[in-house]
Amino acid sequence: MKKLFYIIITCTILAACSPYQKAMKSEEISEKFQVGEEMFNKGKYAKANKLFKQIVPNYRGKPQAEKLMFLYSMTFYEMKEYYLAGYQFDRFVTAYPNSEKIEEAAFLSAKSSYTLSPVYSKAQVETKEALSKLQEFINVYPNSQYMPEANAMVKELDFKLERKAYEIAKQYNKIAGYTGDYEASIKAFDNFIFDFPGSSLREDALFYKLDSAYKLAMNSIASKKETRLENAKAYYNSFKKAYAASEHIKEADKMIIDINNELETFNTKS
């Protein structure tokens, strides 16, 4: 027991005398900077952050401030504190427009915003902010080494917005099953198709637009039914022309049979 006690005491004393602890207690800002950089290089970002935080105000306007502020920003990024990382990188870009690190700082600011983007089912405020930052970076640094990664992130975020809009439109289709408001569903899919003309979800969007138009027509009052059947038929023809091999085509073909049968009753009457 005595041996263990002495080991604990020795470790405590050594820890208290470590360069980091000495630097934390020191009044020398140069010592804090030096040890902070050592901590950073060893991957001890939280310790480096604490030391840098103590001396940031003291280095404003000094030659080493640029290096300090970049490392300080990086500590937040490495600690996955992305809100603070983005904020600090933005400050760095503004404060040091001629820095050789400005491109990297601008990219990491945008990437921090990208990392904060939530899953598609949630509100997409952060996603739009990240897209704005990434697009700004792409515009300013079109030949950047980070361009492939930036483009990949833009593509991912764009699809997230597409998926969000698509799921909203599909929800209208589902709700219409209870409310009968298939016109709102059709409009939602029209908006989606207009906003995202090249979307990989376009096939599904066109099908569910047809589905909404079909159900609207089949459940319409007599005075509106023929026109709505004709509209549904037009949607079917557009869908079939664009996606004849779709996984939805069998279901769509069943719809057109019902549509044509209903239209035939109007032709018989006339």
13-28: pLDDT as tens digits? 444 569 999 999 999 9
Give the pLDDT of residue 270: 60
Please give the model's pTM, rounded to 2 decimal places: 0.86
Give the pLDDT of residue 59: 94
Name the pLDDT band for 8 (thresholds 50, 70, 90): very low
Say which residues have a Cβ less than 8 Å from residue 126's Cβ, sequence separation at least 6.
113, 116, 117, 118
pLDDT digits (tens, 9 = 90+) for 109-165: 999 999 999 999 999 999 999 999 999 999 999 999 999 999 999 999 999 999 999
Average pLDDT on 53-82 reads 96
3-state secondary structure of 237: helix
CATH homologous superfamily of 17-160: Tetratricopeptide repeat domain (1.25.40.10)
For 244, what's the count of Cα atoms within 13 Å in the CB-facing half-sphere?
A: 1
Average pLDDT on 78-89 reads 98
Q: What CA–CA distance (Å, rounded) separates 137 from 131?
A: 10
Name the pLDDT band for 41 (thresholds 50, 70, 90): very high
Average pLDDT on 4-12 reads 46
The full set of domain ranges for the chain reads 17-160, 180-268
Structure letter (DSSP) for residue 59:
G
Assess whether pLDDT exceeds 80 at residue 205.
Answer: yes
Please provide the distance, in angstroms rounded to a whole number, between the alpha carbons at the two ends of the chain: 105
Assess whether pLDDT exceeds 70 at residue 7.
Answer: no
